């Protein structure tokens, strides 16, 4: 399994843990923000890429009129299954789809939206070209990306703690992928290479990440993300030890339970 495949491996127990712990811990405030940005454009047809377990989808279903078509896609069927199991306030269309080869007609949507997914695309310019292709003229592509890992305190602390457990080959999933695509010049160039000829708008949004305990935060990161696969690839018997070490590091940095840390992301909007 190559690095990209491993980083995109949201299967097994990960979807349920992701939904239970990570969605309220880090995703919900940004889901509300980007869905509200979509709603402000009053679209009739919305395509969501990399919908995951449906944090944005649920918000879209609650803020958009029932007449607005919402199609929520993801490459990982287990994540979509989890999203569908949680459900939405009104009907949406769930469909497995590869952002690199979207199964939709040209100009089929007014908005394409993606929350914390573009970092996982193996060819971002190609995926951006697909997003542009399915957008109607005057439509908009909105997505967000995590800022640098040093601006996201839980992820940074867990990553540092795992480097002490596996010093010869530290798990770097968080730094490499979720927090590895935030340079504005790179994003601008990838969008231009994907055919977007208008300048994108960037907005930086900081928020707080709450956790009932350091152990829950550590468990969420170590066992509810592809970090788990990285740890198990090194020594599956040490998953519990690695989780405990991450919890200890979080307690040392943030104090007694409950804890909260800074998170920061960038929202990107570009028109077709």
Tell how far CA 170 is from the center of its chain.
Answer: 22
Tokens read off for 149: 């890992």
Cβ proximity of 175 and 228 under 8 Å: no
pTM of the model: 0.94
Q: Is 52 left (phi over 0), alpha (psi -120 to 50) or beta?
A: left
Encoding tokens for residue 17? Answer: 């843990």
C-alpha distances out from residue 110 to 43, 87, 137, 193, Å: 6, 24, 8, 21
Res 15: pLDDT: 86
Looking at residue 8, its pLDDT comes to 56
Cα angle vertex 235, ends 229, 238, to 5°? Answer: 95
CB 35 within 8 A of CB 51: no
- Beta bridge mates, 98: 101
**Number of folded domains in the chain?**
1
Cβ-defined contacts of 89-95 (< 8 Å, 24+): 89/58, 89/61, 89/62, 90/61, 90/66, 92/57, 92/60, 92/61, 93/69, 94/51, 95/71
Return the pLDDT at 94.
Answer: 98
For 186, the token pair is 């790179």
pLDDT single digits (tens) 98-125: 999 999 999 999 999 999 999 999 999 9
**CATH number, domain containing residue 165:** 3.40.50.150
Q: What's the confidence (pLDDT) of residue 12? A: 78
Residue 168 CA to residue 166 CA, distance in Å, equals: 6
Task: Please enumerate in sequence order all residues whose Cβ is within 8 A of that of 77, keeping only pairs 6 or more positions apart, or say none.
Answer: 96
pLDDT at 231: 97
List the Cα angle 260/225/164 in 5-degree steps: 75
**For each of the chain's 272 residues, which pLDDT tens digit applies?**
555 555 555 757 788 998 999 999 999 999 999 999 999 999 999 999 999 999 999 999 999 999 999 999 999 999 999 999 999 999 999 999 999 999 999 999 999 999 999 999 999 999 999 999 999 999 999 999 999 999 999 999 999 999 999 999 999 999 999 999 999 999 999 999 999 999 999 999 999 999 999 999 999 999 999 999 999 999 999 999 999 999 999 999 999 999 999 999 999 999 99
**H or E segment to which residue 183 belongs:** none
DSSP 114-176: EES-GGG-SSHHHHHHHHHHHEEEEEEEEEEEE--GGGSHHHHHHHHHHHHHSTTS---HHHH
Helix (H) or strand (E) holding 95: strand 93-96
* Digit-coded pLDDT (tens) for 138-190: 999 999 999 999 999 999 999 999 999 999 999 999 999 999 999 999 999 99
Alpha carbons 265 and 74: distance in angstroms, whole number: 21
Name the residue range of residue 60's domain. Answer: 3-271
Give DSSP secondary structure letters for 9-29. ---TTHHHHIIIIIIIIIIHH
Written as six digits, the tokens of 161 are 């703690």
């Amino acid at each position: 399994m190559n690095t990209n495949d491993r980083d995109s491996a949201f299967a097994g127990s990960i979807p349920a843990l992701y939904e239970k712990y990570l969605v309220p811990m880090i995703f919900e405030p940004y889901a509300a923000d980007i869905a509200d940005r979509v709603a402000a454009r009053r679209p009739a047809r919305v395509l969501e890429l990399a919908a995951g377990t449906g944090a944005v989808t649920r918000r879209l279903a609650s803020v958009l009129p029932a007449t607005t078509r919402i199609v929520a896609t993801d490459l990982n069927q287990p994540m979509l299954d989890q999203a569908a199991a949680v459900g939405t306030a009104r009907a949406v269309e769930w469909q497995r789809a590869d952002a690199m080869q979207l199964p939709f007609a040209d100009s089929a949507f007014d908005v394409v939206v993606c929350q914390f997914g573009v970092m996982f695309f193996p060819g971002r310019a190609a995926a951006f070209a697909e997003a542009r292709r399915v957008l109607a003229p005057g439509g908009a592509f909105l997505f967000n990306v995590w800022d640098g890992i040093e601006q996201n305190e839980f992820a940074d602390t867990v990553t540092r703690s795992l480097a002490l457990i596996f010093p010869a080959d530290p798990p770097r999933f968080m730094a490499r992928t979720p927090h590895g695509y935030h340079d504005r010049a790179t994003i601008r160039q990838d969008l231009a290479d994907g055919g977007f000829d208008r300048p994108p708008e960037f907005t930086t949004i900081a928020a707080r990440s709450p956790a009932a305990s350091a152990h829950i935060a550590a468990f969420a990161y170590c066992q509810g993300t592809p970090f788990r696969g990285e740890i198990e690839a090194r020594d599956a018997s040490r998953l519990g030890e690695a989780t405990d070490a991450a919890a200890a590091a979080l307690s040392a940095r943030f104090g007694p339970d409950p804890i909260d840390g800074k998170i920061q992301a960038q929202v990107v909007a570009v028109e077709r």
